[in-house]
Structure 1
Amino acid sequence: MKRLLLAGLALLLSCLMATAQDAPIQPLLQEHQAVIAKSSRKTIGPAIDAIATSGLPQAQVVLETWGAKSMWMRKSDGLFFIGKKADGKSYQLTDFDSGEVVGEFPKKELKQLKPNSGIRALIATALVQFQLNDPDRAKRQDALTSIQRDPEAAHLGPLRASIDNEPDSEFKAQKKRLERLLTISFDNDIQTRINAINEMSGDVGVDLRATLNPLVATTREVAVGQIPEDRNVAARLTPGTAALPRDEAYGLLVAKGFAPTQVTPDDIRTALATNITGGLVAGVPVAQLDTDAARARAYAALAKGGTVPPILSDAEIDAALAAHVFYDSYAEPSNHVTDAANDVLKSIELKVGANQALDLTLDALSLASIYFLAAIGLAITFGVMGVINMAHGEFIMMGAYTGYVVQQIIPDHTVSILVAIPLAFAVTFAAGVAMERLVIRWLYARPLETLLATFGISIALQQLAKNIFGTQARPLTSPEWLDGALVLNDVVSISYIRIAIFFLALIFLGVFLFIMKRTRLGLETRAVTQNPRMAASMGINPGRVNMLTFGLGSGIAGVAGVAIGLFAKVTSELGSDYIVQSFMTVVVGGVGNIWGTLAGATMIGFLQKGIEWLNPSNTLAAQTYMIVFIIIFIQFRPRGIIAIKGRAAGD
């Protein structure tokens, strides 16, 4: 008997559940038919709430259709349907409950429901509870995005209810974080809000600061006699102090309607001009109103007759100020919440400052690696050989264009970059050797003529690039794995391209040191640098060494051009943007010393970023200050940070 009873209850329960699932939504729509058809923002709320809380599976479809302005009412019976335009001026109607097409009807027999922006906002809020649990991942993401963009107290309940059943771990973490933020703003329990604030005290996210800042925002208020008890006071203010100047305090009284407006000299002139009668103002000829005192007497006469408001004396203004109390009031009514928010914001401010310092350091290191990569070739040609090569920037430009040409042939960006780097080295190495053989070798020990010759070559190379590639910037696209940035938090991030350039600079530092310390070319280069005559007497060919050394520096500049082209615009002027910084890097670091070049690039990178941080609105001024600082620095250390002896140092 007991088993029979349990079986009967189970059968009844399943029947009731099936009935709930199969229940139509049209009767509910008809219950609120007049309100829905009227579509008034003031009265539509109960109808939307009834649909959203009905528990019917059709509720989501109804709300989405309504919000999309695709819900139509048939005038003959007041029933609601999904409407879709058919041929001509007729519309195809689909039943919400059965999902079947009920026929096509002319537009004159139908009424389209067109909710305004206010009603659509209410519908969107009601839809959140469905979308947060929707099987479609995109809809759940849209719901979270919608809440983040325009959070409301009504979102808190559905968001909390959706967390436990969220199958996606990433979404679950997003929901938990968003729930904490909404709790801080909208929860009814003060202690729950305080706990949520303290729980997120170590976070530096922008969304947390955007949530806490409105809690501690203040408005300046004034009251008669004493501050109302229901106010959460941030600070009490005294008129005439730096926090509240006297004129500002009286202006607040005027704005709140607690005191009459002060009469200004302009007000006096306007009032006198308005009350001129027969060439007189209050019996005073207009010609006599040429001084402030005369105008004040005429105005006082008008005020005595009640024509204009009287001029307030300082004593009257002081009395009005003394009769009122001024204070800054928090918008948040709970002082416990504002105290917790202020404490957390102070701790966040310290962490944000530390993270900003880290972010600035990463930016400076990134810029230093770019300058070092651009200058390492010049450190060879100018630092080691003593050749002032004004065409060094054009070798960087040639390397960038080589990368662009390779990408036109090889569409795979990863493969194209791997091919472009050695090819750019080969192209610019050959160009450097050709320039050294044809021009530079005839001008050694004649720096001024070398400068003029290489400057002319740089102009010729720029014009050649314009003739071949045009003046429009060409794209040098990075591989997909270099897209985006390494984001540590909302404050600290650095792009993957800059990280790659940083490691590329370290690689070339190692290559340079290996060549100079472990190869025959390096040994011969150092010998020629220190004493070319002695090197020649030992069987070393200085001309061959100079040619290969110049080619090596030019080749490294070409590789730098490929790297720089990944984030800069590839144009014929690309090299000119880096030639000045390259020379400064070599000179400041110490001519002829690779470690000096590294130190110079680091100093210039940190200096430029530091100046830009102090003056972020004017990068041109930052570069000017940097050049001035470097000029002063060279006055005290003319041989740079790390000096070297030999030909490069002028010995």
Structure 2
Amino acid sequence: MHRVFLACLALLCLPLMALAQDQGPTTPQTSPAPLQALLQEHAPLVAKPSRNSVGTVLEALVASGLPQVPDFLNRWAEKDLWQRDADGLFFYAAKSGDAYALTDIDSGDAAGTAAGDALTNIKPNGGVRREIGAALVQFQLSDPDIKRRREALDAISRNPDPSQLGALAASIDGESDPALKTRKIRLANYLTARFGETPEARISAIEALAEDLSVEGRAVLNQILSTRFTAAKSLPEGSNIARVLTSGDGIDRDVAYAALVETKLAPPLVSAGDLRAALEANIVDGKVGGVPLGLLGTEEARARAYAALAAEGTVPQLVTDADIDAALDSHVFFDTYDEADPDITAAAKATLAKVQTRVGVGQTIDLTMDAISLASIYFLAAIGLAITFGVMGVINMAHGEFIMMGAYTGYVVQLFVPDYTLSLIVALPLAFAVTFAAGVAMERLVIRWLYHRPLETLLATFGISIALQQLAKNIFGTQARPLTSPAWLDGAWVLNDVVQISYIRIAIFVLALLFLGLLLFILKKTRLGLEVRAVTQNPRMASSMGINPDRINMLTFGLGSGIAGIAGVAIGLYAKVTSEMGADYIVQSFMTVVVGGVGNVWGTLAGATLIGFLQKGIEFFNPSNTLAAQTYMILFIILFIQFRPKGIVALKGRAAGD
């Protein structure tokens, strides 16, 4: 009986066990992933964002602290966000055949596929994307990718906002790149100066800007000191007034009255067109304001008719000059600071004055350095001409082409020597040798037959310059050729945000000093120099002492040409190397020689310095018109020569006599 009872009980339990197996194990309900859940709370704003409403979503996303938020913001701004129409869930999607492959926005895992007509692409407009970009900045400031961090700082610079200050300050200590850390500190100071929580913090940040000469720093101070023009019956109490203006003295009369009209403190002016339209609209029985139409041919009659209409209240009163004067006299006009705290504007004003003083000093130093650099270039270009012109009295119009030959020599050397430092070392003496030989050949073949015939010499050398230019075009073409400087000459020596000079110009200045010393040594300490000076001062006496003037002329012309070749290498490092490049310096070279004093090294240095400073000074006052600067410089030199025809350092001897 007992076994029979157990068997019956088992048979009764079988249906229940089968039912349990069919239902399967019980699983707990899972909630949506955190980012998806947050987006579902604001689904309408995410799907159809506007610039005014998107802030609510962005604040929620930033406050969530979810690590997937930065990637979501990027995808959203790049229009890579999709919403599934069936359930309203958001995904990233990519075209896959006829359908779209979905990616989960939380995990990044594949989430199946969907047809294109089952999805809606979220496309925020430009204003919304800018708001998203501003929110994204807070995450990018600490991004491992330095490019993202740099982009975040660029975004803050373009559109500073008080909400960025906290995130920016928090990212400073963890910044590993020294340059970016410095920039973060500077930007944090800018934001504090404009949006700091307390006046003390803002004033402290403003005073720190006295050491900042950058354009951005000055822009921050100018933004704090921004003003708006206002008109009122009297000066309002408690306003931070920048200055009080008087009509006719600091403010135009029409502008002042327009301000009164804008603030509804005075009636608007009636223009001639408005007057005519009012008269046409009020014609009754062939009259306007009691004046017959036939009598409205004069301005006085039209004014009388309009006054009659105004007396009836039909049209506004006509404003007379007396009315304008009375309105201006009974009101005050002033600029008020947009910043309400006078202590902050006072600190900004004092700091800006200090910065402007330092900027002025820096600009003077920068202009002086530029002028010295330009004078170095002119000295190198003219010293060879000064020697040949001073000793031989030859007007060599082909001197610029020797500069061009030196630059092309440097270019050819770089074709065979790829190391730019080594190629420069090789190019300098080789350019001297090539142009020295060309100068000697020119003197032997042409110049020696034309001594004491200046017009024929000028025409002959001018023809040679044209021939050399054409020869360069035939060999190298008309396209500018690169003469690349070594890597250690790249960049500039930066003292601050105002004063900086390129390393190439510094190198040219040093090269000019070396040549100045070398030429002085040759002329003062060597036999060749002694003979050159002797021929320069008294060629007949030098010849009687056993010196061969013909040989000295040849070597002197070759020396001057060789120096021009070295100048060409130096100039070609930062200027274009073309067949016409010599023409850009021949005029300045002759002006340098004539102004400084013919045939004198110190005179050439003085002339180059004068012309360099003069040109930079003119360009500073008229930077947009270089042609005008050249014209003014030539006029000045013409006047200078009238008062000192022998130049700054007058030369004695044959050249002076010539």
Q: Same fold (TM over 0.5)?
A: yes
Distance 1:296 1:44, change over 3 A: closer
Match of 2:193 in 1: 184
- 8 Å contact from structure 2 (residues 289, 309) kept in 1: yes
The 1-side partners of 2:62 and 2:575 are apart by 53
Per the alignment, residue 135 of structure 1 pairs with: 144
- Structure 2: how far apart are the matches of 1:281 and 1:398? 87
d(CA) in 2 for partners of 1:456 and 1:195? 69
Deviation, structure 1 residue 271:
5.8
Post-superposition shift, 1:134?
Answer: 1.5
Q: 2:205 aligned to 191, 196, 200, which one?
A: 196
Equivalence for 2:639: 632
Specify the alignment match of 2:605 in structure 1: 598
Which residue pairs with 1:232 in the alignment? 240
Contact kept in structure 2, 1:23 and 1:56, CA below 8 Å: no
Provide the residue aligned with 1:5 in structure 2.
none
Of the candidates 148, 158, 167, which is equivalent to residue 149 of structure 1? 158
Q: 1:463 to 1:299 in 2, by over 3 A?
A: farther
**Could you tell me how far apart the structure 1 residues matched to 2:469 and 2:306 are?**
75
Code of the aligned partner of 1:506: L
Q: Which residue in the other structure is 1:398 paired with?
A: 405
Give the TM-score taking structure 2 as reference length: 0.89
* 1:455–1:272 CA distance, 2 compared to 1 (3 A): farther
Structure 1 gaps of 5+ residues are 1-21
| Distance change (3 Å), C-alpha of 1:23 and 1:94 | closer
**Could you tell me which residue of structure 2 aligns to residue 415 of structure 1?**
422
Alignment of structure 1 residues 93-104 onto 2, 5 Å: 93-104=102-113
SS in 2 for 1:640: coil
Q: Distance in 2 between matches of 1:250 and 1:390?
A: 65
Gaps spanning 5+ residues in structure 2: where? Answer: 1-31
Q: Is the 8 A contact 1:52 1:60 kept in 2?
A: no
Counterpart position of 1:17: none
- Cα distance in 1 between the residues matched to 2:103 and 2:276: 73
SS at match of 1:237: strand
- Which residue is equivalent to 1:50? 60
3-state SS in 2 of match to 1:53: helix
Measured after TM superposition, the shift of residue 269 of structure 1 is 5.9
Say which SS state the counterpart of residue 92 (structure 2) adopts.
strand
Match of 2:36 in 1: 26
Structure 1 segments of 4 or more deviating over 4 A?
264-292, 301-308
Q: 2:214 aligns with which of 205, 220, 227?
A: 205
Q: What is the distance in 2 between the residues matched to 1:472 and 1:375?
A: 26
Q: CA deviation at 1:615?
A: 2.3
Classify 1:291/1:527 alpha carbon distance in 2 versus 1 (closer, same or farther; 3 Å): same
Question: Map of 1:564-583 to 2, 5 A cutoff?
Answer: 564-583=571-590
Q: Does 1:562 align with 2:572?
A: no
1:120-519 maps to which residues of 2 (within 5 A)?
Answer: 120-223=129-232, 225-229=233-237, 231-238=239-246, 240-264=247-271, 268=275, 291-304=298-311, 308-519=315-526
Change (3 A) 1:565 1:288: farther
Contact 2:391 2:553 survives alignment (8 Å): no
The change in CA–CA distance for 1:474 and 1:284 in structure 2 (over 3 A counts) is farther
TM-score by length of 1: 0.90
Superposition deviation, residue 278 in structure 1: 9.5
Cα distance in structure 1, aligned partners of 2:292 and 2:111: 88
Greater C-alpha Rg: 2
- Partner deviation per Cα, 1:21-76 (whole Å, 9 max, x = no partner): x9743322333333322323333322222222212222222222222222222233
201-210 or 55-64, which moves further after superposition? Answer: 55-64
For the Cα contact (< 8 Å) 1:125–1:154, is it kept in 2?
no
**2:127 equivalent in structure 1:** 118
Letter in structure 1 aligned against 2:170: A
Deviation at 1:102, TM superposition (A): 1.8
How far is the alpha carbon of 1:206 from its aligned partner? 1.1
Partner of 2:11: none
- The 3 A distance-change label for structure 1 pair 285 and 419 is farther
Matches of 2:46 and 2:221, distance apart in 1:
38
Residue number in structure 1 paired with 2:21: none
1:392/1:278 CA distance change after superposition, 3 Å: farther
Q: Deviations over 1:414-448 (max 9, x none)?
A: 33333322222122111111110011111112222
Tell whether 2:628 aligns with 1:618: no
Query: Paired residue for 1:71?
Result: 81
Q: CA deviation at 1:362?
A: 0.7
Q: Contact 1:73/1:111 (CA < 8 Å) preserved in 2?
A: yes
Structure 1 residue 287, shift from structure 2 partner: 7.0
Moved more, 48-57 or 550-559: 48-57
Q: Which deviates more from structure 2 when the two are superposed, residues 453-462 or residues 545-554?
A: 453-462
For the pair 1:92 / 2:98, whether they are aligned, the reply is no
Number of aligned residue pairs: 627
Shift of residue 156, structure 1, vs aligned partner: 0.5
Q: CA deviation at 1:286?
A: 6.7
The CA distance in 1 between the partners of 2:395 and 2:282, in whole Å, is 80
Determine if contact 2:376/2:509 at 8 Å carries over to the other structure. yes
Q: Distance in 1 between matches of 2:84 and 2:551?
A: 94
CA distance in 2: counterparts of 1:366 and 1:625, whole angstroms: 20
Q: Does 1:82 align with 2:95?
A: no
Shift of 1:383: 1.9
| Segment drifting more, 166-175 vs 488-497 | 166-175
CA deviations on 1:164-191 (whole Å, 9 max, x unpaired) are 2223333222211110001011122111
8 A contact 2:224–2:345 mirrored in 1: yes
Is the CA contact 2:48–2:124 (under 8 Å) kept in the aligned structure 1? Answer: no
Tell me, yes or no, if the aligned pair for 2:193 and 2:202 is still in contact at 8 Å: yes
* Deviations 1:124-155 (CA, angstroms, capped at 9, x unpaired): 22222221111222211111121112111111
Q: CA deviation at 1:360?
A: 0.7
Aligned equivalents of 2:410, 2:293: Cα separation in 1: 82
Deviations 1:567-618 (A, max 9, x none): 2222222111111111111111111110110011001111111122222232
Give 1:386's aligned amino acid: G
Query: Partner amino acid for 1:377?
Result: G
- Deviations along 1:379-430, one digit per CA (max 9) or x if unpaired, are 1111222211111111112222222333333343333333322222122111
Q: After superposing the two structures, state which structure 1 stretch, 379-388 or 341-350, moved more.
A: 379-388
Q: Distance in 2 between matches of 1:302 and 1:466?
A: 82
Distance 1:283 1:370, change over 3 A: same
Measured at CA, do residues 249 and 516 of structure 1 come closer, stay the same or move farther in structure 2, by a change above 3 Å?
same
- 1:109 corresponds to: 118
Contact 2:388 2:599 in 1 (8 A): no
